[in-house]
Structure 1
């Protein structure tokens, strides 16, 4: 997850936050305020913005010191632990709620569900949430996807509900279900390019390919009048530790 440290400031300003309704959905599922919350891969705190409203003691695990620094400045009430999820040792009594926003795919696939289950108290809640960046205008969607496929045909996008299916397949949790929240988000050319510049697949590409991609996307946005409207789908996967 430390790939994002080099763009920590841009990540904080360009990435959209989460709908506040997530907090109510988590509380309702859990059956009240959790006694303790741990957030995995907290980054600069986009998911933390939701979790602090639960008004429970909060520990945020983040492996990149640059992201963790932003997190500490923004949420002084949270305990920020510089660590990976795999290195983290949960308290012996367990935690009531384990949450992860847009970072589940960075955790070790073979062990993430089992480790999450082991960290929770009996009846504890797993809450995974993240965005799927679609496009409200079908013409914009087709043009952007065609251009991106031309630049890098190997790039693949996960299904919107992939975290739900991942938890189901692992078999570690009961009462697993998914909630969806949708909103339209218009972005200017600069806002859209700043957002794209924080995506993991983009950051993993060579600088020359990054520049080519941003130039091509910029021209597309200009052709569409200078604005891109995202169809922002937020999914919340909830599971219970038996």
Structure 2
């Protein structure tokens, strides 16, 4: 997975253009859970700053981290006030400053499993909040989705990332909530869903696919073939199901 994790920079401008941003409802949910003012936040895998802007817009001083310089260059072009930028992978971060909120937006699955939660605990202030959120962007119409899947199948079996710990999709608690519940450092683990439906042109939807890691790993000629095949079966405008699954947990007091 490291190759996939670092594949986005080549499409940084498209990532910014075609990836959906995050709604105000998401920030409301995280900050209500915090139950107290959040003044500082650390973002893991900030990318081009889709979630950075959401929380910086609430007056929080955000330290946005990402290992990909091209993604951070795009973030700098969009950067709101109150944001500090640090080029670093999660595994490179060292305990020191602790934050009232540490969050990852569609990025936690790229982090190394070994030592993930002890490292995370070293970054969150006691009583502070960890948040992870994201989810697949799918065609909402079953018939259109089936046609697009059939068009993709000769080139790529699936374009989604399976659960990192193998949790079946029908389980009530999904990853990373499953791991957080077992962690000695976090408590009050909650899972919520922010429902979201979007409408976009077929061209923009294919633009979105061009930022998905599964396609970025394909040789360019193959990638262009699969995009052309998918585009041919889509209507001019498509409805997208882009629900955001949110996991929240509270850092236990130091012992």
Per the normalisation by structure 2, the TM-score is 0.86
- Alignment of 1:202 onto 2:204: no
1:118-133 → structure 2 map (5 Å cutoff): 118-133=122-137
CA distance in 1: counterparts of 2:247 and 2:75, whole angstroms: 24
- Range 127-136 or range 40-49, more displaced: 127-136
Structure 1 residues 43-52 or 154-163, which shifts more?
Answer: 154-163
**Alpha-carbon displacement from aligned partner over 1:26-70 (angstroms, at most 9, x marks no partner):** 111111221311001101011112211331221011111111122
Q: Which residue of 2 aligns with 1:232?
A: 242
Match of 1:241 in 2: 251
Structure-2 change in CA distance of 1:112 and 1:124 (3 Å): same
Distance 1:14 1:154 in 2: 20
Say yes or no: does 1:70 pair with 2:80: no
Query: How far did 1:121 drift?
Result: 1.3
Q: For 2:45 and 2:36, locate their aligned partners in 1 and report how far apart those are by CA, in whole Å.
A: 24
Structure 1 position 170, deviation (Å): 4.5
Structure 2 SS opposite 1:126: strand
Find 1:175's aligned residue among 188, 192, 205. 188
Deviation at 1:129, TM superposition (A): 1.0
Q: Out of 17, 21, 25, which is 2:21 matched to?
A: 17
1:126-185 CA-partner distances (Å, limit 9, x unpaired): 011113212221111222223333322265543574333343355542111111111221
Distance (whole Å) between structure 2 residues aligned to residue 157 and residue 38 of structure 1: 24
CA distance 1:51–1:163, shift in 2 (3 Å): same
- Give the 3 Å change call, closer, same or farther, for CA 209–169 of structure 1 in structure 2: farther
Q: How many residues align?
A: 238
Instruction: Decide whether the 8 Å contact of 1:39 with 1:60 is kept in 2.
Output: yes
Query: Structure 1: which 5+ residue stretches go unaligned?
Result: none
Paired residues of 2:95 and 2:119 also in contact (CA < 8 A)? no
Decide whether the 8 Å contact of 2:159 with 2:215 is kept in 1.
Answer: no
